[in-house]
């Protein structure tokens, strides 16, 4: 898969929208990348899973950030035949009351999987939750880097971020 192929798929799925949008961190933007449109599109999901699978080791374990990273982690896990866990935003208040769902051994290395990074805070929160549960986390794979500080914030926490595309790539020539 090439970057151009993924960019075309994201655009064909109408995942890039223009207007006035409020973002999760409270800021506003003139464009929005709708993760639900690309994560529910079979072509996009397949291309993303294949690209992520090419970037992980054969014995990797993935950590999907709830909610957006979970379908990406699941599709990649099936594509690469590797296990994954889910990092919840907070522990559920019933059942097992876990913040990390799935099997995770102490000291196990986990690659975080996330949809979009703006500030990177949701990925950092997942990294911290995984580390608190005993995982070693040094990498995060993302679909889109909005280039608004996410990579730097993750680096400040000892995590290398790799995005399949940047906002600049995605928006170049799209208007």
pLDDT digits (tens, 9 = 90+) for 33-57: 999 999 999 999 999 999 999 999 9
Give CA separation, 175 vs 17, 63, 134, 148, in Å: 10, 34, 45, 20
Architecture of domain 3-171: 3-Layer(aba) Sandwich (3.40)
So where are the chain's domains?
3-171
Q: What is the mean pLDDT of the chain?
A: 94
What pLDDT, on a 0 to 100 scale, did the predictor assign at position 175? 43
DSSP assignment of 30-42 equals EEEE-HHHHHT-H
What pLDDT, on a 0 to 100 scale, did the predictor assign at position 91? 85
What pLDDT, on a 0 to 100 scale, did the predictor assign at position 173? 53
Alpha helices in 56-120 (DSSP H): 69-80
What pLDDT, on a 0 to 100 scale, did the predictor assign at position 65? 97
Residue pointed to by tokens 């790799």: 162
Residues of the chain scoring pLDDT < 50: 175
What pLDDT, on a 0 to 100 scale, did the predictor assign at position 93? 83
């Amino acid at each position: 898969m090439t970057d151009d192929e993924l960019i075309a798929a994201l655009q064909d799925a109408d995942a890039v929208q223009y207007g006035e949008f409020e973002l999760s961190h409270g800021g506003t933007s003139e464009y929005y990348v709708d993760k639900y449109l690309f994560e529910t599109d079979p072509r996009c999901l397949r291309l993303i899973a294949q690209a992520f699978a090419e970037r992980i080791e054969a014995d990797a374990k993935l950590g999907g950030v709830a909610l957006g990273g979970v379908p990406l982690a699941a599709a990649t896990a099936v594509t690469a035949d590797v296990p994954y866990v889910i990092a919840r935003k907070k522990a559920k208040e019933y059942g097992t009351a876990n913040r990390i769902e799935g099997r995770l051994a102490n000291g196990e290395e986990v690659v975080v999987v996330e949809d979009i990074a703006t500030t990177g805070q949701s990925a950092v929160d997942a990294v911290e939750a995984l580390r608190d549960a005993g995982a070693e986390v040094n990498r995060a794979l993302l679909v889109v880097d909005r280039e608004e500080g996410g990579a730097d914030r993750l680096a400040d926490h000892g995590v290398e971020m790799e995005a399949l595309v940047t906002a600049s790539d995605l928006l170049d020539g799209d208007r």
